[in-house]
């Protein structure tokens, strides 16, 4: 993705109030992020670990989504990220829930997704970060990236609709 500013990030949120978007914790190292290797920007709030955020490009511009991270069960198990299809053990994958945008969200409707707990899917796909095991696939990196952005796009549409 292209580099984005804190201002653009705060303006992109579709499922929280303007006040929340103004106050939420945006990473302070945006200048040094490896943007060309990012399919989306995702991060956890270091001061409130149940909060996570994801910002991605879409046909209608940047879309930012505030997520609530479900508490971990503490059981050792394998689970797979539904965005990048990386398998992690233990707490490596979390259920993250986004309140839907607009009236649906105000009525309490939300959409959930299982995603790498550190939201570093782009790095797992590119082998910049090692999760120990990935699916044994013959498709190219470009195809994997395409798949991830397609799945992410579908998730964002469900938040927006």
Query: Which spans of this chain sit near Zn ion (rule: CB under 5 A)?
Result: 81, 83-84, 116, 121
Q: Cα separation of 119 and 124, whole Å? A: 10
**Distance, C-alpha 12 to centroid of its chain:** 14
Smallest distance, Zn ion to C-beta of residue 18, A: 29
122-154 per-residue burial string, b: 16 or more CB within 10 A, e: under 16: bbbbbeeeebeebeeeeeeeeebbebbbebbee
Smallest distance, Zn ion to C-beta of residue 86, A: 5
Q: Which is nearer to Zn ion, 21 or 96 (CB)?
A: 96
Q: Cα separation of 150 and 100, whole Å? A: 19
Smallest distance, Zn ion to C-beta of residue 60, A: 24
Smallest distance, Zn ion to C-beta of residue 43, A: 13
Please give the structure tokens belonging to residue 140: 């190219």
Q: Which is nearer to Zn ion, 13 or 155 (CB)?
A: 155
Q: Which is nearer to Zn ion, 101 or 113 (CB)?
A: 113
**Which residues lie below 8 Å from residue 63, measured CB to CB, with a gap of 6+?**
12, 14, 55, 56, 57, 156, 159, 160
Q: Which is nearer to Zn ion, 12 or 86 (CB)?
A: 86
């Amino acid at each position: 993705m292209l580099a984005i500013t804190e201002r653009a990030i705060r303006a992109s949120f579709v499922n929280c109030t303007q006040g929340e978007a103004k106050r939420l914790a945006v990473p302070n190292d945006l200048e040094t992020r490896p943007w060309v290797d990012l399919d989306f920007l995702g991060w956890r709030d270091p001061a409130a670990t149940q909060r996570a955020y994801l910002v991605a490009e879409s046909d209608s511009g940047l879309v930012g989504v505030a997520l609530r991270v479900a508490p971990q069960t503490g059981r050792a198990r394998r689970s797979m990220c539904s965005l990048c299809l990386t398998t992690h053990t233990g707490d490596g994958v979390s259920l993250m829930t986004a309140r839907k945008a607009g009236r649906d969200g105000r009525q309490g409707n939300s959409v959930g997704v299982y995603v790498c707990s550190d939201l570093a899917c782009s790095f797992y796909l590119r082998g910049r970060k090692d999760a120990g095991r990935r699916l044994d696939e013959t498709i190219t990196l470009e195809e994997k990236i395409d798949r991830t952005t397609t799945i992410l796009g579908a998730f964002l549409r469900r938040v927006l609709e």
